[in-house]
Amino acid sequence: MKAEGAFFLGAEADPVFEVREMEFGELRPHEVLVEVRACGVCGTDVHIYHGERGSAEVTPPVVLGHEFSGRVVRVGSAVEVVEPGDHVTLDPNIYCGRCRPCRMGKKQCCEHLFALGVNVDGGFAEMALCPDTQCYPVSKDLSFEAAAMAEPLACAIHGIDRAEIRSGETVLVVGGGTLGQMMCQLAQAAGAATVILSEPVKLRRDVALELGADFAIDPVHEDLQATLREISGDDGVDVVVECVGNPRAVRQAIDSAGPCGRVVLFSVPQVDATVELPLFDVYAKELSIFGSRINPDTHQRAVNLLDAGLVDVSKLITHRFGIDELEEAILTQEGPDSIKVVVTP
């Protein structure tokens, strides 16, 4: 069976992407061939496009795209979890199960992590070959675009788990991109009494309010700390989830946390990014600062939430492109006028 895919040739290549023919022969026992119907553009794809590190090393030529869904076309002889015709979403992250982090229950830090759409061909193609372990059936009532959002939602769930939100707490989300919008909804579902978004782009603030956030602040034209005090009192907020990835946003998150506050640094920063840490504030307020990496054991939970309609991703998709427009799709995702860009092969 033949199909087309958009191959990443390297950040310095000209062109950066080239649509090439792909051929799929006989499947191995545990392989599944998926007709890709939607694939989201992630911040990791943007990093890779610019020659920066993703979650794992990239060796061109390779088909990127790790947030994808589609329809099962063929299955290997030993596949039991799905069958032809099923609608599926894919967990792209594959762990070795042998290294110390994996054996200690910390597989998100697997020393040999590799991922569909990063190290091996992924979803920016008409067809994708996937291990059956990575296939998660979804309801046929769920759109393929919504199903493609299971992977980022699974990552957001892990970040929310790290935050340990308690009922009645006040939560600030810094950054209103796709993950920030998801975080606002998940914080509400976790029992937060007040959810606040800090985001300079009006489109994103408006969407967050439409999806249930209680307040949306423009940190460029408003005094964020003064507004937070008006909303939550002088003590600041209980939980801050940072979803931007630059030092200014990280410092904003730390400054906004109140006594015994928890700060989750969720975003993927540049490799050399640093921030000056106010050590006395960390001591005096007894702050807890957490990292959050990918989606260990949360993909099925994401599917459950999407199938049940408990997280609304429909308003997050702002742009759609074909695989022959992938470079434009990535540049659009990088810009301020988008929330989530989707490629529809």
For residues 124 and 210, membership in a common domain is answered with no
In angstroms, rounded to a whole number, what is the distance separating the alpha carbons of residues 195 and 214? 5
pLDDT at position 287: 98
Domain count, the chain: 2
Q: 87-90 and 67-75: which strand pairing?
A: antiparallel
Phi, psi of 258 (to 5 degrees): -90, -170
Residue 338 belongs to some domain of the structure: yes
Q: Do 231 and 170 share a structural domain?
A: yes
Residues in the chain: 345
pLDDT number for residue 55: 59
Residue 121 lies in a domain: yes
The pLDDT of residue 56 is 67
- Distance, in Å, from the CA atom of 150 to the CA atom of 169, rounded to the nearest integer, reads 26
Q: 28 with 166, same domain?
A: no
Based on the domain organization, do 185 and 264 belong to the same domain? yes
- Asked if 254 contacts 241 with a C-beta cutoff of 8 angstroms, the reply is no
Residues 163 and 145 in one domain: no
φ/ψ of 50, rounded to 5, equals -90, 5
Does residue 332 belong to any structural domain of this protein? yes
Are residues 163 and 128 both part of a single domain?
A: no
Domain that holds residue 231: 154-291
Same domain, 334 and 211: no
Q: Are residues 22 and 118 in the same domain?
A: yes
One digit per residue, the tens of pLDDT, for the chain of length 345 reads: 899 999 999 999 999 999 999 999 999 999 999 999 999 999 999 999 999 876 568 999 999 999 999 999 999 999 999 999 999 999 999 999 999 999 999 999 999 999 999 999 999 999 999 999 999 999 999 999 999 999 999 999 999 999 999 999 999 999 999 999 999 999 999 999 999 999 999 999 999 999 999 999 999 999 999 999 999 988 889 999 999 999 999 999 999 999 999 999 999 888 889 999 999 999 999 999 999 999 999 999 999 999 999 999 999 999 999 999 999 999 999 999 999 999 999
Count CB neighbours of 334 within 10 A: 15
CA 90, CA 149: separation in Å to the nearest integer? Answer: 10
- Which domain CATH number covers 12? 3.90.180.10
Tell me, yes or no, whether 40 lies in a domain.
Answer: yes
8 A C-beta contact, residue 129 and residue 76: no
Helix (H) or strand (E) holding 274: none
Is position 122 within any domain?
yes
Q: Are residues 201 and 122 in the same domain?
A: no
Kindly state the tokens that stand for 253.
Answer: 């998150």
Q: Is residue 10 part of a domain?
A: yes
Residues 235, 333, single domain; the answer is no
Looking at the structure, tell me whether residues 13 and 50 fall in a common domain. Answer: yes
Q: Say yes or no: 247 and 328 in one domain.
A: no
Q: Tell me, what CATH number does 179's domain have?
A: 3.40.50.720
Whether residue 308 lies inside any domain: the answer is: no
Residue 268 within a domain: yes
For residue 235, what pLDDT is reported?
81
